[in-house]
Amino acid sequence: MWKVVGDRETGKLPPYSFINRVKSNRISSLELSNYKEIVSAHKGAVNSLQVDLIEGRYLLAGASDGSIAVYDVQSATKHEGNGMVAKHEHILVVDKRHEQGHKYAVSSATWYPVDTGLFISGSYDQSVNVWDTNTTRVVVDFKLPGKVYRTAMSSVAGSHMLIATGTEDVQVRLCDIASGAFTHTLSGHRDGVMAVEWSTSSEWVLVTGGCDGAIRFWDIRRAGCFQVLDQSRSQLGRRPPLLEHFPTKVSTPKSFSSGQSSTIKVRTPQKKTASGTGAKRVPSLYRVPSQTKGSTGKRLHPGLLSSHDRATAHYGAVTGLKVTDNGMYLLSAGSDSRLRLWDIESGCNTLVNYEIKRIEPRKALQLATTQDSSLVFVPCMTTIKAFDVWSGRTSETFRGHYENVNCCWFNSQDQEMYTGSNDRQILVWSPPKIRLDEMDEGRNNEQDQDCWSD
C-alpha cells in the first residue's frame, strides 16, 4: 500500500489510477465490521435496502412487518466499548401504527433518485406510496391489482418521474408522481413480475423479469417490448471494443498520384426508398422482427409480435435483475439457482458459469455490483457470495446471518456493503479500520526497508 502512496507522491501513478487502486484494495478486504453496527428497528425480515444516490449517507430499509426505516450510516447515534463501536440507530421509522403505514409486508423501498426528500415504498397490501421524508406523510399513493414485488425509478431520467412496479399481476404498470395516475400498462408477461430495473444508459428503457422465466426489454415510448432474452442464444466472451466496429481510414494503393488524398472515406451503401431518400440504419437494440418475404398475411402490431415470443431466460421465475453501471450488460438471477450475464446490445447469454449452489426461489432478491462492475454480490441462502463478473469465480463468501439473506446494497462512496435477512438484522461489511499508530508503524517499517545503505 505504501508503495502505491509513494508512486502517487512522485507522480508515477495518475490520480484516477491511484483512486481505483485504493478502492480495489478496500473492496478485496471486506469483512463483517467490528467498529460499525446498525441497530435494526424491524421486527420482521428485511426485504429491501438502498443508500441514497446523492450523499451516499442515508440507508433506507423496508421489512416484512410493514415498517420502513432510515439510518444515517456516516454519523453514529452513540458509541460503546470505550468508543470503539459506533451504533447507528434509526432517524426515521414508519410502521403499522402510523395512520398511513402499510398493513402488510414492505417488499420494496427506494429513494427518489435526485433528492432525499422523497422515498417510495411498495407493499403486499397492493399499494405504492410516495413519502415526504421531512413530514413522514404520504403525498401520493397508487392502488394496484395485486401484491407489489418490486418498484424502481430511473437514476438517469430527466424527462419523466415514473415508478415502474412489478406485481403478481401479469401487467407492468408505470406510476407518474407528477400526475398521480398510471401512464403506461406494459403487457407481455404470462405470470407475475418479480423484478424491474431501469437501464443505466437510457431513461426510456425498462427491463422486467417475470415468474414465467422471461426477461423483456421495453421502450416506454411505444407499445410492446422490443427484445425478449433467450437462454439458448449465446455468445462467448466480452463485447469487443467499439473502435473495432468503425474503421475510419483505408490505405490507398501506391499508384495514386501525390496530389490525391492518402485516405478514403468508407460509406455504406444506402437503399433508396420510394420517395428517393436514403433510409437510416436502425440500431439493433430497437429493431422489430419483420414479416418474412412473400407472406401475404396482415402485418402485425409490434406489441402482438412481442407477445408471441415465448423465449425464456431461466427455467423458473426471474427473481433478481441488475444492470451494470455502463449499461452494457445485465445480470439476472432465477429460481433455477442460476446467475446469468447478458450482453444487452446483442441480447445473448455470455455463458459465464457462476459457482452457485442454491438461491432462494420464492422471494424477489436484490443484487448489487461494485462501481466498476467487476464484482457482483448475490444472496445465496444464509450467505452472500461475491463473484467475478467476467469469469464467474467466487471471490469471497460472506457469512454472518442466521437466516436467508434477501437483499444487499454496495455503497461505492465508502466501499461498504449492507445486507438484510430474515433474521431481522442489517449487517455492515466494511474494510478493516487501520489506526493511526499502525499506519505510522507501517510507514516507518517501509522507510527502514528503503534505507539499505545503513
**Are 252 and 262 contacting, i.e. CB atoms less than 8 angstroms apart?**
yes
Provide the residue type at 379 as one letter: P
The pLDDT assigned to 271 comes to 45
The answer to the question of residue 105 being in a domain is yes
**How much is the pLDDT for 436?**
44
pLDDT in tens, 297-346: 455 555 555 555 678 999 999 999 999 988 899 999 999 999 999 999 99
Answer yes or no: is 57 within a domain: yes
Across 55-79, average pLDDT: 93
Q: How far apart are CA 185 and CA 166, in angstroms?
A: 11
- Per the model's pLDDT, the better-predicted residue between 65 and 1 turns out to be 65
Residue 342 Cα to chain centre, angstroms: 13
Round to whole Å and give the CA distance between 121 and 141: 10
Q: Which of 50-64, 250-264, 352-366, 380-394 has the lowest mean pLDDT?
A: 250-264
pLDDT at residue 443 is higher than 60: no
- Stretch 142-161: mean pLDDT, rounded? 93
| CATH of residue 412 | 2.130.10.10
CA 389 to chain centre: 13
Does residue 319 lie within any of the structural domains? yes
| pTM greater than 0.75 | yes
**Chain segment 73-130, per-residue pLDDT in tens:** 998 999 988 888 999 999 999 999 999 999 999 999 999 999 899 999 999 999 999 9
Q: Does 234 or 249 have the greater pLDDT score?
A: 234
**What is the per-residue pLDDT for 294?**
43
Rg (CA), the chain: 25
Above 80 in pLDDT, residue 11?
A: no
pLDDT in tens, 192-227: 999 999 999 999 999 999 999 999 999 999 988 999
Give the 3-state secondary structure of residue 219.
strand
Q: How many domains does the chain divide into?
A: 1
DSSP 361-404: SSS--B-EE-TTSSEEEEEETTEEEEEETTT--EEEEEE--SS-
Q: Across the strands, what pairs with 71?
A: 59, 90
% of the chain exceeding 70 in pLDDT: 76
Question: C-alpha cell of 5?
Answer: 502512496
Q: So what's the pLDDT on residue 310?
A: 77
Q: What is the mean pLDDT of residues 10-19?
A: 70
Q: Provide the pairing of β-strand 348-349 with 137-143.
A: unpaired
What's the pLDDT score for residue 224? 87
In a domain, 141, yes or no: yes
Query: Looking at the domain assignment, is residue 334 inside a domain?
Result: yes
Confidence of residue 378 (pLDDT cuts 50, 70, 90): very high
More confident position, 347 or 443: 347
Rank 143-152, 255-264, 295-304, 358-367 by mean pLDDT and report only the highest. 143-152
Residue 24: per-residue pLDDT = 81
Residue 27: pLDDT band by 50, 70, 90 thresholds? Answer: confident
* Residue 254 placed within a domain: no
Q: Average pLDDT of 255-265? A: 41
CA distance linking residue 369 with residue 389, whole number of Å: 9
**Percentage of residues in the chain having pLDDT higher than 90:** 59
What's the pLDDT at 291? 43
Residue 22: predicted pLDDT: 76
pLDDT at residue 311, rounded to an integer: 85
For residue 25, name the pLDDT band (cuts at 50, 70, 90).
Answer: confident
Helix/strand/coil (H/E/C) assignment for every residue in 96-143: CCCCCCCCCCEEEEEECCCCCCEEEEEECCCEEEEEECCCCEEEEEEE
With respect to residue 384, please indicate whether it lies within any of the assigned structural domains.
Answer: yes
What does the block give as the cell for 160?
419523466
Query: Domain containing 395: what range?
Result: 30-237+301-430
Q: Which residues of 117-146 are buried (b: 16+ CB within 10 A; e: fewer)?
A: ebbbbbbbbbbbbbbebeeeebebebebeb
pLDDT in tens, 391-423: 999 999 999 999 999 999 999 888 899 999 999
Residue 446 within a domain: no
Q: How deeply is 98 buried, as exposed, middle or buried, from its count of CB atoms within 10 A (0-12, 13-18, 19+)?
A: middle
